[in-house]
């Protein structure tokens, strides 16, 4: 690890109940003069102000240090984005528990190798998913995703004067869904639907038998 320039530590845990003390101790032992912490999910770079502050103000020659790279991000794309941003400022990334140090050729090579493994795992997972879907289709048990309910279509039918029971039967959905769509309609639209239903009812009563 780079031992000559300033090191800024970053410790992260996903939930409040997780203890950051072990990470902080490891970062301080690695020579970090400053350690920033936050308890946020690593699924996204958004909503993590401490990490953003480090990336905004880190200087050339300095190193962002974590215990493991999954403390920075959960996706390889986000990790690459962080390293690219550090590189643009002449800064580096290092990990205390992994041989990652982008200031050194061997450390950078290990980081790149992690990316190859991550891509391999992603492709393998997709292949397994595709194989599972194909097998389920052969057994006749694959149904795919449930169709998305079209609230606008429901509301249009309500305005036309269709009853919730009629719409539910025609669209294959529950009446509860119809009432939820109705509750989101402007009161004027609801009134139009009720007026049309009333007119249709009166015409049916007046029609000769």
- The alpha carbon of residue 84 and the mean position of all alpha carbons in its chain are separated, in whole angstroms, by 21
In angstroms, the CA 37 to CA 119 distance is 29
DSSP 5-48: S-EEEEEEESSTTS--HHHHHHHHHTT-SEEEEEE--SS-STT-
Helix axes 151-160, 164-171, angle to 10 degrees: 140
Instruction: Give the length of the chain.
Output: 209
Per the annotation, the verdict on 88 as an active-site residue is no
List 14, 41, 44, 199, catalytic entry: 14
Which residues does the annotation mark as catalytic? 14
């Amino acid at each position: 690890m780079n031992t000559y320039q300033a090191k800024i530590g970053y410790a992260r845990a996903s939930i409040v109940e997780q203890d950051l003390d072990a990470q902080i101790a490891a970062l301080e032992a690695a020579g970090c003069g400053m350690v920033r912490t936050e308890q946020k999910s690593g699924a996204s770079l958004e909503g993590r102000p401490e990490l953003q502050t480090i990336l905004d103000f880190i200087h050339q020659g300095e190193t962002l240090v974590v215990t493991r790279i999954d403390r920075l991000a959960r996706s390889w794309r986000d990790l690459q984005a962080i390293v690219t941003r550090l590189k643009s400022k002449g800064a580096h990334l290092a990990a205390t528990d992994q041989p990652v140090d982008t200031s050194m050729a061997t450390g950078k090579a290990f980081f790149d190798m992690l990316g190859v493994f991550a891509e391999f795992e992603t492709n393998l997972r997709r292949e397994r998913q595709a194989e599972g879907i194909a097998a389920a289709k052969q057994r006749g048990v694959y149904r795919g995703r449930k169709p998305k309910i079209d609230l606008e279509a429901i509301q249009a039918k309500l305005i036309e004067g269709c009853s919730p029971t009629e719409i539910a039967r025609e669209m294959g959905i529950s009446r509860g869904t119809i009432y939820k769509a109705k509750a989101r309609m402007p009161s004027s639209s609801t009134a139009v639907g009720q007026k049309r239903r009333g007119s249709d009812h009166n015409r049916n009563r007046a029609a000769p038998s």
